[in-house]
Amino acid sequence: GRLEAVTQQMGYHPQYLDSFLKTQHYLMHMDGPLPFDCRHYIAIMAAARHQCRYLVNLHVLQFLRAGGDPQWLRGLEFIPPKLRNLNEINKILAHRPWLITKEHIEKLLKISEWSWSLAELVHAVVLLAHCHALASFVFGCGCEQDEGLGGRGAPKPLSLGNQCFCEATAGNSYSQELLRINRKRSLDSCMELDSLRERMQRIHVETEGRDEMRLLQQEREEGEGQGAEAGVQGGSSWLSPLADTDGEVTGATNLACYMQDPDFGYQDFARRDEDQTQVFRVQDYSWEDHGFSLVNRLYSDIGHLLDEKFRMVDGLQSSAMAKRQGCEPSVFKRGIWNYIHCMFGIRYDDYDYAEVNQLLERMLKVYIKTVTCYPEKTNSEMFDRFWKQFKHSEKVHVNLLILEARMQAELLYALQAITQYMI
């Protein structure tokens, strides 16, 4: 009867929570191109790329409840070839989505008896992007800790029935109860943010030329020192094995069996040894003008749900941030969103990237980059050190921005490749 940790953390923003749960439920439990057991196995494959035992264990349980073959849990060698062929695009999407091409799409759609349909592939791509981004949120908010702790700064667990976020639907009344408890059990500091306000005010009076590549170069230099700050999560920090409906323990013990090429990981999009970097320009292919219509046509209604979720996180208002920043909250949120997309090679021609360096302190940038690109290296010290004066709910807000910006970035690359194949 314990409220699941991801739901507890998102409960600081109940409107977003409702939208998230509605999308999650539709992806996993409503009518769609993919069988229910395959959906949860794809989620297992996606979560394993980031060593997220928390999500793997949740979907192992749901996989068995959906009637999945227990033999599949022995690893990729024991699943149907059609599902195993998804491994390559899973790997690329999770770590370097800019490498996806129409050839990857064509390979999946034209493998004789093991071929995917376009509708099935779109469903799978949305699932992969959803779970990759959710793994970032899980590590960013500390949900990979013991489930009884409910993540960092979580409210006291509620007894609201035996329902995990994989099964929940939107519109449940407990989101308001979460909001009430979060207000009552506030863990927030009341320190003023004078320095941040001053930096944001300067943006409106200072003009600087565009410097996108300098931003990336700075991140590469900072990345060299991140190893000591990031600290890979230890093996003891993961969710305890769950029990299925018959009481049998079904914990994930060896995540390596769910993936191939485990050494494949994120690399900086812009490399010093490259004369010219091919960037993804939103003006040429955007979610609003291209991705939404394509995904909605091939997987009915999911486009509307995703679009609602993207808009919901953009519209979230944190009262303390709005009052203390000294400028429009949208400026700050757009800086975080565009910074995340920048790390994946996505550019906005109408944005001055010099704003990012003024808006985001170094520790915040290190935190965002780690949670976005290699969330398994996130540790509690990093979470505690960035913006100590900010409320916990505001830190959750930042993690929601990371979740949605990352998911949209992966979808843009995958859907563009599908579009190119269809042309």
CA atoms of 288 and 32, how far apart (whole Å): 23
Residues 24-34 pLDDT 10s = 999 999 999 99
Of 141, 194, 203, 219, the residue nearest 383 (C-alpha): 141
CB–CB of 386/354 below 8 Å?
no
Please say if 52 is a catalytic residue.
Answer: yes
Let me know if 227 is exposed, middle or buried by CB neighbors in 10 A (0-12, 13-18, 19+): exposed
- Pick out the chain residues at pLDDT < 50: 1-2, 146-149, 154-163, 170-175, 178-179, 181-197, 199-200, 203-212, 224-252, 272-276, 322, 325
* 86-118 residue pLDDT tens: 999 999 999 999 999 999 999 999 877 789 999
From 38, 52, 141, 342, active-site residue: 52
Q: Would you call 31 helix, strand, or coil by DSSP?
A: coil
Residue 335 CA to residue 282 CA, distance in Å, equals: 16
- Residue 312 half-sphere exposure toward CB, CA atoms < 13 A: 21
Kind of pairing between the strands at 346-347 and 280-281: parallel
Q: Is the dihedral of CA 340, 344, 349, 352 positive or negative?
A: positive
Quote the CA–CA distance of 231 and 363 in Å, as a whole number. Answer: 15
